[in-house]
Amino acid sequence: MKKDSYNIAIAGATGAVGQEMMEILKERNFPIGELRLLASERSAGKELEFDGKKIKIQELDENSFEGIDIALFSAGGSRSKEFAPIAARAGAIVVDNSSAFRMDTEVPLVIPEINPKAIAGYSKKGIVANPNCTTAVTVMALKPLHDLGNIKRVIASSYQAVSGAGAQAIEELKNQTLAWANSEEIKPEAFPYQIAFNLLPQIDSFVDNGYTKEEMKLHNETRKILENSEMALTATTVRVPVFRAHSVSVNIETEKKITVDEAKEALNSFPGVSVVDDPGELKYPMPIDVAGKDDCIVGRIREDYTVENGLSFWVVGDQLRKGAALNAVQIAELLIGDYI
The reported pTM is 0.95
Task: Give the burial string for 5-23 (b: 16+ CB within 10 Å, else e).
Answer: ebbbbbbbbbbbbbbbbbb
How far lies 332's CA from each of 6, 37, 48, 100, 103, in Å?
A: 10, 16, 21, 19, 20
**DSSP label of 124:** G
Q: In what order do the strands lie in the sheet with 70-73?
A: 58-59, 32-39, 6-11, 70-73, 93-96, 127-129
pLDDT of residue 340: 86
Residues 240, 260: Cα–Cα separation, whole Å: 29
Residues 175, 81: Cα–Cα separation, whole Å: 34
Domain positions in the chain: 6-131+324-339, 134-319
Query: Which candidate in 146, 219, 246, 296 is catalytic?
Result: 246
* Residues paired with residue 239 on neighbouring β-strands, in sequence order: 160, 200
Q: Is 246 a catalytic residue?
A: yes
Which CATH architecture is the domain 134-319 placed in? 2-Layer Sandwich (3.30)
- DSSP H helices, 254-338, are 260-269, 287-290, 326-334
Domain 6-131+324-339 maps to which CATH number in 2.60.40.1930, 3.40.50.300, 3.40.50.720, 3.90.1150.10? 3.40.50.720
Q: pLDDT tens per residue, the chain (340 residues)?
A: 678 999 999 999 999 899 999 999 999 999 999 999 999 999 999 999 999 999 999 999 999 999 999 999 998 899 999 999 999 999 999 999 999 999 999 999 999 999 999 999 999 999 999 999 999 999 999 999 999 999 999 999 999 999 999 889 999 999 999 999 999 999 999 999 999 999 999 999 999 999 999 999 999 999 999 999 999 999 999 999 999 999 999 999 999 999 999 999 999 999 999 999 999 999 999 999 999 999 999 999 999 999 999 999 999 999 999 999 999 999 999 999 999 8
pLDDT of residue 327: 98
Residues 170, 156: Cα–Cα separation, whole Å: 25
pLDDT of residue 2: 77
pLDDT of residue 166: 85
Query: Which candidate in 133, 146, 219, 296 is catalytic?
Result: 133
Residue 150, SS3 per DSSP = coil
CA angle 137, 143, 148 (to 5 degrees): 145
Q: Is 296 a catalytic residue?
A: no
Task: Give the burial string for 225-264 (b: 16+ CB within 10 Å, else e).
Answer: bbeeeebebebbbbbbbbebbbbbbbbbbbeeebeeeebb
Q: Which residue, 201, 221, 77, is CA-closest to 138? A: 221
